[in-house]
Structure 1
Amino acid sequence: MSSILAIIAAFLGSGVVIGTPIQQAAGGYLDADATLVAPGTGAFRIWSLIYAGMLAYAIWQALPAQRHDERQRRLGWWVTASLLLNAVWIFTVQLDLLWLSLPVIALLLAVLCRLFVLLRRSTPKSRVEAVVADGSIGLYLGWVVIATAANAAAVLTAAGFRGFGAAPEFWAALVLGVASAVGIALALWGGGRIAPTLSLCWGICWVAIARAIDEPRSELTAVAALLAAAAVIAATAFARFHHDRRGRG
C-alpha cells in the first residue's frame, strides 16, 4: 500500500494533472532546452510506462502468493524507498529547491542500484515476475541514470558554472560518457539485462534529438549522445551473448 500511495503522490506532484509540469518548475532549468544534456520533451513519456510497471509490481507483490516469497521480501522495502524518494524529488523541484533535488536523485539512483544487485542475485520464478519485477525496476533504473546526469547539469547551470574555460560540448560529452559508462557497467555485470539499456538509451537518444532540432543546438553533443547510446547497446549485446552462451554450456 505504501508503494501505491508513493506512486500516486509522485504522479500528482509531477504536474501531469494539476500544478506545474516538472519541466517548468525550478526556474525551467530541467526543461528540454535548459542544458546540452537535457533530453527532449518526448523522452518524459517513459514515465507513464515506468509508473504503470511499478504499479503493476506493487499490486503483484502484494498478492497472497508473493507474501512469503523471499525474493520479494528482500526487494519490497527498497522498492518502497525508491518510490518515496521519487516523490520527494518531485516535490523538491515543485518547491524550487533545485539544489536539493540533486542529492535526492543521487540517493534514488543508489537505491535502484541496490535493487539491481538484489535482482541479479536470484532469477525470477516466472515470466510474469521477470516482466513486472525485473523489467519494471530495470526501466526505472536506466531512466534515473540519464535523469541524474541531466539533473546535475541543471544544478551546475543554475549555479552559474562556466566550465573552467572548456567548451560546453566538452562537458556535455563528459556527462554523457559517465552515463554511458554506468550503463555499460550495468550491462556487463547484469548479464546483458535489456530493460535498463532500453530506458537509458531512450533518454540518451532524446538528448541527441533535442540537440539536433531544438535549442541549444549542438551537433557535436548529438553525435556524442548517439555514440554513448551505441556503446551501451553494444555492451549489452556482448554481455547477453556471453551470458546465454554460459547458460547453454
Structure 2
Amino acid sequence: MSTPTRSDRRRQATVAISAVIAIVGSFVGSGVLFGTPIAEAAGGALAADATLVAPGTGAFQIWGLIYLGLVAYAVWQFLPAQATAERHRRLGYPIAWSLVLNAAWILSIQFDQLWLSVPVIAALLVALVISFRITATTKSASVVDAVVTDGTVGLYLGWVSVATAANVTALLVAEGFEGFGISPDLWAVVIVAVAGLVGLAVATLGRGRIAPALSLGWGLAWIAQARLSGSPESTPTAVAAIVAVVVIVGATVVVRLRSARGAASTTRA
C-alpha cells in the first residue's frame, strides 16, 4: 500500500467538505432549518401536482438513502486502502462537484430562481455521468466498496435523471410553454420515453448495474402513482411510466445476465 500524497489528502478533504455542504443544503431544502420545502419553493413549480411528469411526494424519500450513501462514501474514501486507489483518485472530484452542485440547486430553488436550477441540475447530471462511467470502468476492491461507491453513485444518477426531466418540464410550464399545439399528455409520454431510453443506456454502460435501475424505476413509478391518483390526472403518462419501469428493469436484468455469462466464459477460457 503506497503512502497518500498531498494531492490525495486534498481530494479526500474536498469530498468530505462537499458532503457537509450537501447535507446542510438538504436540511435547508427540506425546510428543517430556515429554508422552504422544495415542493413549496419557487411558487410550487416542483410540487407533485405542478406538471404531468412530477413524481408523487413519496418519491423524495429516496434522498435519505442517497445522502446516507454519500456520507458513507465520504468516510470510506478516507480509509487507508482507498486513499491511493486509482478509482477513488479519479472519482473524488466528480463526486465532490456533484455534492456542491446539489447544494447549489437547492439554493437556486430557495431563491425562486427556477431558470437557474436547470443548468445547475444539468451540470449535476454531467458530473454523475462522469462518476458512473468511472465506476463502470474500474473494478471495486470489495463488496463494501461496490455497495458504498458503485451503489451510491448509481442511485444518485438514476434519481437525478428523473429529477432533471421533472425540473426542465417545471420550468417550461412555469414560463407558459404551450407545446406547439401538441397535447400535454403526448409531451409527457415523450419525456417519460426519453427517461426510459436513458435507463437503457445506463443499463448498457453499467453492464446491468442494479442501483441506477432501482432509482430510475422508483422515480418513474411515483410519476405513474401521481398521475393515477393525484392531480393532474393522466392515464397515458402513467401507462408510459409503468412501461418504462418494466423496460428498464428488464433490460438491466438481461444485460447483467449476459455480462455474467461473458465473464464466466472468459474465466473458463
When the two structures are superposed, what TM-score results if normalisation uses the length of structure 2?
Answer: 0.91
Whether the 8 Å CA contact 1:89–1:101 is kept in 2: the answer is yes
The reply on whether 1:244 has 2:264 as its aligned counterpart is no
Whether the 8 Å CA contact 2:23–2:67 is kept in 1: the answer is no
What is the identity percentage for the equivalent residue pairs of Structure 1 and Structure 2?
Answer: 52
The reply on whether 1:217 has 2:217 as its aligned counterpart is no
CA distance in 2, matches of 1:196, 1:82: 16
The reply on whether 1:7 has 2:5 as its aligned counterpart is no
Match of 1:55 in 2: 71
CA distance in 2, matches of 1:231, 1:4: 33
Amino acid at match of 1:85: L
Could you list the per-position Cα deviations for residues 174-202 of structure 1 after superposition, in whole angstroms to 9, with x for gaps in the alignment? 11111110110010121100000000100
Deviates more, 1:34-43 or 1:16-25: 16-25
Whether the 8 Å CA contact 2:133–2:205 is kept in 1: the answer is no
Larger radius of gyration: 2
Amino acid at match of 1:142: G
Counterpart selection for 1:148 from 164, 167, 170: 164
Whether the 8 Å CA contact 1:32–1:210 is kept in 2: the answer is yes
CA distance in 2, matches of 1:4, 1:42: 24
Match of 1:202 in 2: 218
Counterpart selection for 1:227 from 226, 229, 243: 243
The reply on whether 1:77 has 2:77 as its aligned counterpart is no
CA distance in 2, matches of 1:36, 1:230: 20
Match of 1:189 in 2: 205
Whether the 8 Å CA contact 1:13–1:87 is kept in 2: the answer is no
Amino acid at match of 2:26: F
Whether the 8 Å CA contact 1:145–1:179 is kept in 2: the answer is yes
Amino acid at match of 2:44: G
Counterpart selection for 1:129 from 117, 125, 145: 145
CA distance in 2, matches of 1:93, 1:211: 24
CA distance in 1, matches of 2:31, 2:199: 29
Please list every run of 5 or more consecutive structure 2 residues that lacks an aligned counterpart in the other structure: 1-15
Per-residue deviation at 1:14? 1.0
The reply on whether 1:168 has 2:195 as its aligned counterpart is no
CA distance in 2, matches of 1:6, 1:132: 19
CA distance in 1, matches of 2:80, 2:253: 37
Whether the 8 Å CA contact 1:7–1:55 is kept in 2: the answer is no
Could you list the per-position Cα deviations for residues 70-90 of structure 1 after superposition, in whole angstroms to 9, with x for gaps in the alignment? 111110011100000000000
When the two structures are superposed, what TM-score results if normalisation uses the length of structure 1?
Answer: 0.98
Match of 2:52 in 1: 36
Per-residue deviation at 1:120? 1.1
The total of aligned residue pairs comes to 249
Amino acid at match of 2:114: L
CA distance in 1, matches of 2:210, 2:185: 29
Amino acid at match of 2:27: L
The reply on whether 1:109 has 2:131 as its aligned counterpart is no
